[in-house]
Structures are given as structure tokens and as C-alpha cells.
Homo-oligomer: A and B are copies of this chain.
Amino acid sequence: MSETFSRADGRALDQMRPVKITRGFTTNPAGSVLIEYGNTRVMCTASVELGVPRFKKDSGEGWLTAEYSMLPAATHDRMRRESMAGKVKGRTHEISRLVGRSLRAAVDLSQLGENTINIDCDVLQADGGTRTASITGAYVALADAIAHLKAEGVVPGEPLLPPVAAVSVGLIDGHVCLDLPYEEDSRADVDMNVIMTESGKFVEIQGTGEHNTFDREQLNALLDYAEKGCRELIAAQKAALAGELR
């Protein structure tokens, strides 16, 4: 562990990149948000569809599903477009499922009526943390979509639950770091994504020893940083939702 460790962008170890949440980024979906974690930019939308998938039919409940994707030119080297390749990558599937599970923790499906909310997270620019930014931004889009549904009188109850936010933490050269950009993420020994609620409970933890393993003490240090990040992100979500929809 080097005394002189410092982050490429000069941040403190437990400091988030600047976070910016723009509501009403586009106008067609019921909720549309551009979220930025530093140079990572994701367009998160929540579209509402009447009816539910077959396995939910006549349950009286709604459903929420999510799809994550990167635009081909989002990364430093252009990636092949999945629609043209005729194959969705395993990574894409994995993240889409994570986003869906996380957002379902923020909605009471029994209060939604038999409606479906489709979350789309399209990464315009990627610089690490795209899946966590997707979750944090999608919550805001979800809130706007539910407000829209309620204004239209379609939703019987109060489906929106308190905020859910997500952040990455990692171990780099023995240091715990919060909110990794691509440069740090690619060389981290351990990479962890943490999804939390406003009350500080975990929705999901995914920690991977990419180039090394980790012990219980390191885990706890990682979770401490993640908790700090999520608290700040939830504050940003609430500030954004308190503002006016442009």
C-alpha cells in the first residue's frame, strides 16, 4: 500500500465524480432522464404500456422490466452494434437483469395495476460505472413515469417506493476507492457494485475479485464507501425530483 497513492482525476478516495441528473431529457417517454457520473452519460427512460406479460396476467399486479445497451460509439474503441451482430452479449443481458431487479425494489407492483413499465438505459458515453449510473438514473425516470400515470388516473395506489441508488467501489493497489472510472475499473483487484435504499439497506451486492480475492475486512471497508456514495446519490435524486420537470 503506497503512501503516495493518488487518483488520476485528483479525487479523494471516498469522493464521487460530479453527478448530474437532467429530467425531461426527451419528451416521448413518460420518464426520461440523462444521468452523468463524470464522463459516463446514460439516457434512462421509463415507458408505460397497458397490460402485463403473460405470467402476470390476472394477477392484479403490474410489472417492470429493463434493458441496458451501449451505443456503438460510447466506448473508446467502437463496439459492434448488437442488433447487426445478431447477438446480444452476455454482459448486456447480465446488466439488463441487474437493472430490472434493482428497480423492482423501488416499486410496489401490487399498487401499479396491470401496467408494465419498460426501463431503457442507453449509454451515450462510457467511462466506468455505466450499470450503477443506469440504476440511479432509472429511479428518477421511474418516479416521473409513475407521477405521469397517477396524473392520468391509471394507477390505483402508490406504487413508488423510496429511492434506490447504485455505485461502484473497488480495491486498487490496496486502496478502497469510490466510483471507479474506466481507467481504474480496468485495473482494480476487486470491483463491487452496491445497490442501496434510502434507509441504508442493501438491494444487491455484487463483488468480484477480478485480479485478486478479498477478505471480510476489505469487504466492510468497500461497503462503507459504497454507503457514503449511495447516500449522496439519493440526495441528488431527491434534489432532481424536487425541481421542475423541464
Q: How far is the CA of A45 from the CA of B73 in the complex (A)?
A: 7
A150 contacts the other chain (CB 8 A):
no
Given contacts A200-B215, A213-B197, contact A73 B28 (CB under 8 A): yes
Contact of A94 among B88, B94, B120, B197 (CB under 8 A): B94
Q: Which among A49, A101, A122 has the highest number of chain B CB atoms within 10 Å? A: A122
Q: How far is the CA of A83 from the CA of B90 in the complex (A)?
A: 13
A71 contacts the other chain (CB 8 A):
yes
Binds B, one of A2-10, A12-20, A203-211, A237-245: A203-211
Residues of A in contact, count (CB < 8 Å): 64
Work out how many copies of this chain go into the complex.
6
A56 contacts the other chain (CB 8 A):
no
Q: In the bound complex, do residue B202 and residue A219 qualify as a contact, i.e. CB atoms below 8 Å apart?
A: yes
Residues of chain B within 8 A (CB-CB) of A206 are 204-207
Q: In the bound complex, do residue A207 and residue B209 qualify as a contact, i.e. CB atoms below 8 Å apart?
A: no
Residues of chain B within 8 A (CB-CB) of A71 are 43, 45, 120, 122
A110 contacts the other chain (CB 8 A):
no
Q: In the bound complex, do residue B97 and residue A90 qualify as a contact, i.e. CB atoms below 8 Å apart?
A: yes
Could you tell me which residues of chain A, from 69 to 116, have a CB within 8 Å of some CB in chain B? 69, 71-76, 78, 81-84, 86-94, 96-97, 101, 105
Q: Mark A123-155, 1 if CB is under 8 A from B, else 0.
A: 011100000000000000000000000000000
Q: How far is the CA of A86 from the CA of B125 in the complex (A)?
A: 24
Q: In the bound complex, do residue B197 and residue A202 qualify as a contact, i.e. CB atoms below 8 Å apart?
A: no
Give me the interface of A with B, judged by CB distance under 8 Å.
26-29, 32, 39, 41, 43, 45, 47, 49, 67, 69, 71-76, 78, 81-84, 86-94, 96-97, 101, 105, 118, 120, 122, 124-126, 192, 197, 199-210, 213-216, 219-220, 223
Which 9 pairs show the lowest CB-CB distances between chains A and B?
A90-B93, A201-B213, A45-B73, A82-B83, A47-B78, A83-B83, A29-B73, A26-B125, A205-B207
